[in-house]
Amino acid sequence: MWHQEQVPQDFKDNIIVHLYKKNRNRQLCDNHRGISFLNIDGKIFARILLNRFNAHLEQGLLPESQYCFRRHRGTIDMIFATRQLQEKCQEMQIHLYTTFVDLTKAFDT
């Protein structure tokens, strides 16, 4: 598989089942969620690829300011960095403009 650079089709196939969220309006799409059932061999293969990809990215390819989707970095770290920046700007009497965007509805969670 590594040498052929081909992933078997059954690794890519999945079954999606739509589940209704109880006590909600069945007519609204937001009240349903999809569960994907994958082939176990495909899941193992995907995990191996993910681990290799992440190890490659952590070798200095991402900027230090990238916190999202990185191991050992999270929201608390970003809040701390933002707070430090705010205090430094206040100390130096420099205006600081920030924008916070809530992407909750942009992604299927």
Q: What's residue 108's pLDDT?
A: 63
Is there a contact between 48 and 18 (Cβ–Cβ < 8 Å)?
no
> What are the extents of the domains in the chain?
1-61, 66-109
Is the pLDDT reported for residue 25 higher than 90?
Answer: no
User: Mean of the pLDDT values across residues 77-96?
Assistant: 93
Is the pLDDT reported for residue 109 higher than 70?
Answer: no
Band (pLDDT 50/70/90 cuts) for residue 102 is: confident
